[in-house]
Amino acid sequence: MTEQDWLTARFAEYQKHLQAVAYRMLGSRSEAEDAVQEAWARVGRAETGHVENPGGWLTTVVARVCLNMLEARRSRREEAVGALPPEPGTAHTGVAPAPGRGDPEDEALLTDSVGVALMVVLDTLAPAERLAFVLHDVFAVPFEEIGRIIDRSPAAARQLASRARRRVRGAAEASGAARSAKREIVSAFLAAARDGDFNALLDLLDPDAVAVGDLHGAEAVAAFFTGRAQAARLALVDGEPAAVWTRLGAIRAVIAFTVHDGRITRIAVDTDPARLLALDVILLPSHSQEP
């Protein structure tokens, strides 16, 4: 087997894991695919004679590519270019893919610690913080190897991950409480709509609420939904409490709610099939179905 054949086989072997690493680092499927492609271009130019752990080496390459992409993303936002890490070497062999992780079947959802709702929080982290947190907490990469990737000491890498972890946990608690309150409001709205309870709908709506494009004011919105939503189901849509209309087991519409100060200010209905297919939808039990 030639060196190129060996490299091609190893890359194919670990490609799904590398895609999962890049997706969790970048939060975008398309950017993750670009990162893996760039990593393949880099390893194709590298000498592989001293690589003892191809999985670890390839993980390092992809991580460095993602770090560069995060730095570029940050520089575009701040109009300031930071120092990028050096090209990956060929002798870093300390990282092995975490067993059982990086399964492509769960690409649509990150792990609990890096949920979809927390991607906004991850975007506020410095690139090195994000890399240290994701690689260590999600993929169990040792801090020694993370330090080499970001050109820091293991202790500094540990501090970066710890700082990021505190921010993520704080955001998780805040966003979890907000989602819980919103879920209660959406669930109550659906129940009132199904029961035809006009007054209950008014209590849930902001006086200036708008809905479905041309309905303005709580009374107009309440009148429209009174007695409706019989087929609507409570759901999480891209991590946010919402409702979906289903027919014959297929989602036909998504109802999104904007909540402010405990009241619904806006209701939007999306029926575009292409957009619906791109959404991550998890059906939830309603109050009547909960024990």
Where do the domains of the chain lie?
A: 3-152, 185-289
Burial class (CB in 10 A: 0-12, 13-18, 19+), 131: buried
- Per-residue model confidence as pLDDT tens digits over 102-155: 343 333 333 433 455 556 677 778 899 999 999 998 888 999 999 999 999 999
Overall CATH class of domain 185-289: alpha beta
Specify the pLDDT at position 65.
96
Specify the pLDDT at position 175.
60
List the end-to-end C-alpha distance of the chain, in Å, as a whole number.
61
Specify the pLDDT at position 100.
36
3-152: CATH topology is Butyryl-CoA Dehydrogenase, subunit A; domain 3 (1.20.140)
Vertex 50, ends 44 and 56: CA angle to 5°?
70
Specify the pLDDT at position 258.
92
b/e burial code for range 57-95 (CB count within 10 A of at least 16 → b): bbbbbbbbbbbbbbbeebeeeeeeeeeebeebebebbbb
- Up-side HSE of residue 157: CA atoms within 13 Å toward CB? 20
* Number of H-type helices and E-type strands within the chain: 10, 7
pLDDT means over runs of 10, the chain (291 residues): 81 92 88 93 75 86 94 69 37 37 37 50 85 90 93 94 84 65 91 93 94 85 85 84 84 90 92 84 63 36
Specify the pLDDT at position 264.
95
Specify the pLDDT at position 123.
76
